[in-house]
Amino acid sequence: MTILEEIFLKEFEEKVTDSQTLSGGDINEVFLVNDRVVKINDAKSYPQMLEKEARGLQVLRETNSILIPEVFAFGEIHGKQYLILEKIGKGLRDQAYWETIASGLANMHQSSSVQFGWYEDNYIGYLPQSNVWHPRWTEFFIQCRMEPLVKMAFNDGKLRSENLRQFERMYLELESIFPNENPSLLHGDLWGGNLMEGLIDPAVYFGHREMDLAMTQMFGGFSSNFIELYDQYAPLEPGIDARIPVYNLYPNLTHLNMFGSSYLFGIESVIRRF
């Protein structure tokens, strides 16, 4: 009996009648089994990763603001963790689609919290993501988004001492850079690869909503006027284009740590201004 057969027998008392392999990213094996999406990875290497993803998906889905796949089950078996989800399509990328995504994201961002952070730490890619509660966005951004990844990269020889000084100088300017807004419920990893008819693969937390918007500009996949569409539903403070590179230090640092020095130039082009 295969692991997929064991999982479906355990969770649904159901035989596997149809199974195919999907693209799984860096660490996951992903399958379409009996018309459900199944993600599997090593439970010891990434403790509770898929359980945390399941909880994040459930919170996003409960906002009823944008299409999020239903979570059918999650668990562990034979040292593997698994997550079973509703299959959703890619969506026809016409104007109506982009307006639906923009308005849905704006509505999702209306879900708020007293502080910035989350009820537990989770993951961004395969890296741990710290979500300790902070009353101010700048504190959260520095302590939970910048410093863990800056230190990791420095310890691995991917950043230099001068880079650390540049980050420290930037930190002193952040209060004057970021607009003062309440925490918003974020997808947290909103690049084009996680965009379908709705949204998949979140790294959920309460943060500044412009973090989500900035990440839409990282790797393509979103319409060129997506931020303008969003602004029609939830107006933004002027000057977001100048703030986007600062927000995107986070995904760039994430990729620097995961994939290496090709992301260093983009980081240095931002921090050398300070």
Domain definitions of the chain by residue range: 3-86, 95-271
- Average pLDDT score, the chain: 97
Determine the Cα–Cα distance for residues 77 and 143; give it in Å rounded to an integer: 35
Residue 24 pLDDT more than 80? no
Residue 229: pLDDT band (50, 70, 90) is very high
CA distances from 246 to 16, 75, 218 (A): 47, 37, 12
Give strand pairing partners of 86: 36
Given this model, what pLDDT does residue 136 score? Answer: 98
Given this model, what pLDDT does residue 97 score? Answer: 97
Residue 23 pLDDT more than 90? no
Q: Which residues are catalytic?
A: 189
Q: Is 2.40.50.140 the CATH number for 3-86? A: no
Residue 95 pLDDT more than 80? yes
Mean pLDDT along residues 38-57:
98
CA distances from 13 to 5, 9, 18 (A): 10, 4, 15
Q: Is 3.40.30.10 the CATH number for 95-271? A: no
| pLDDT per position as a tens digit, 161-175 | 999 999 999 999 999
Q: What is the pTM of this model?
A: 0.96
Using an 8 Å Cβ cutoff, are 203 and 129 in contact?
yes
Residue 118: pLDDT band (50, 70, 90) is very high
Given this model, what pLDDT does residue 26 score? Answer: 76
Residue 102 pLDDT more than 80? yes
The number of CA neighbours under 13 Å toward the Cβ of 44 is 2
Residue 25 pLDDT more than 80? no
